[in-house]
Amino acid sequence: MKLENLKPAKGSTHNSKRVGRGQGSGKGGTATRGTKGAQARAGYEHKIGFEGGQMPIQRRLPKFGFKNPTRVEYLAINVSTLQAVSERTGITAFDIETMIGAGLAHKGDLVKVLGNGEITAALEVSAHAFSASAVSKIEAAGGKTTVIE
């Protein structure tokens, strides 16, 4: 099988309807638009969501939910991830720039360190927030935590 031999499955494609090509074609005259009215004329565009006068779905369905405008969203990084990166690269001091360089975070992310996993290396970690379990695990391994304001 080669690229030049590929073709769509039988019945999956259709020829386009050629309208307005004279009476002999069977689709001349009104070109399947019906007679008169805005929809029969050139330049007709209905509004987005218009359903022919039927109540549109965005008005039939109720509003629901709530988006908190003051929500602060953190990027979660586990201590096990920091341990793995430390073993692989030899880094012992993690700040935001180091995490970005290691591919753990992106510029502008707020980072929260969580306590999932085990940590044995004594790491100095600077982040925007820490969970209580992360602080206890890092300090138990001989490391230090610093909260960035």
CATH number, position 110: 3.100.10.10
Q: Which residue has the tokens 């304001």?
A: 149
| Total number of domains constituting the chain | 1
- Structural domain contains residue 85: yes
**pTM score of the predicted model:** 0.59
Q: What is the pLDDT of residues 96-139, one digit of tens each?
A: 999 999 999 999 999 999 999 999 999 999 999 999 999 999 99
Residue 67 lies in a domain: no
Q: Is residue 132 part of a domain?
A: yes
- Examine residue 99 and state whether it is found in any structural domain, yes or no: yes
Spatial neighbors of 72 by CB under 8 A, at least 6 apart, are: 110
Q: What is the pLDDT of residues 55-111, one digit of tens each?
A: 999 999 999 999 999 999 999 999 999 999 999 999 889 999 999 999 999 999 999
**Within a domain: residue 27?**
no
Structure tokens belonging to residue 52? 């022919």
What's the domain range around 137? 75-147
The string of DSSP letters for 86-132 reads HHHH---EE-HHHHHHTTS--TT--EEEE--S---S--EEEESEE-H
Residue 78 identity (one-letter amino acid) = N
List Cβ neighbours of 34 (8 Å cut-off, separation of 6 or more): 40
